[in-house]
Amino acid sequence: MGTKGKAGLDFTSKVVLITGAASGIGAATAEMFARLGASLALVDRDEEGLMGVMKRCVCLGNNPYGIAGDLLKLPEIECIAEKTKERYDGQLDVLVNGAGIMPTGTLQTTELTCFSHVQDANVRSLFYLTKLLLPQLLHCRGSIVNVSCVCGMRALPNQVAYNMSKAAVDQFTRSLALDLGPQGVRVNAVNPGVIRTNLQKAGGMDEDSYSEFLERSNQTHALGRVGDPAEVASAICFLASELASFVTGVTLPVDGGKQLMCPP
């Protein structure tokens, strides 16, 4: 990588807020931004997991600011926004909306309460936090990266509520790109395929089922394997960086070619 490329991935003096930072893609993204010199605000309701990620960032020479908060609760979203504003004097250069849940279910098996819960976790929280932080992002002419899913681009079976929520995230991304582009704010999304995280198990899958799922998933990705959280984090950092200064409104598959494959 040349000198220009290295400078483009330098986040020194930049403030980056990441939700869902305690595990999986969010944790890997936090550690990558830490290596790139960012001032971090890390958000998750899992306080123990969040502390572990913060310790790893400290070992990388970073001094992250952790905020324990539940994005399902509107007052806590408001508190997260206010704490970030106070901590960094209103500066926010990058917002990574990484928090989300992934329950399974068809229309027949998904109750309305579950549907509402998924939309609140994956769509409403993202909408409201972004709205509250928008003044800082506009002031800094910053960048937003939403963590969507290949399900936003292509429906998968037994995930009706999740598929719908990620399609909404993709449309949110495109809508904001149009609305905020003239004001200098770029908005993009990453759409991961199957990544080795705790997302499926948190959605109710037991250990044996998860192992079988990973084995099957090796055959449903063109690269013949599932992904690693760091591979998605790399794409997020690129989209947030000056290397992507003319990129907005993109929903970028980071999926090993899964959206191209015929098997679900």
Return the number of other C-beta atoms located less than 10 Å from residue 5's C-beta.
12
Contacts of 230 by beta carbon, 8 Å cutoff, 6+ apart: 28, 32
Q: How far is CA 236 from CA 24, 53, 69, 76, in A?
A: 13, 18, 22, 25
For strands 39-44 and 15-19, give the pairing: parallel
Residue 251, sorted as left (phi over 0), alpha (psi -120 to 50) or beta, turns out to be: beta
- Residue 128 falls in the annotated catalytic set: no
Active-site entry in 65, 88, 128, 162: 162
CA 79 to CA 167: how far, in whole Å?
28
Which residues are catalytically annotated? Answer: 162
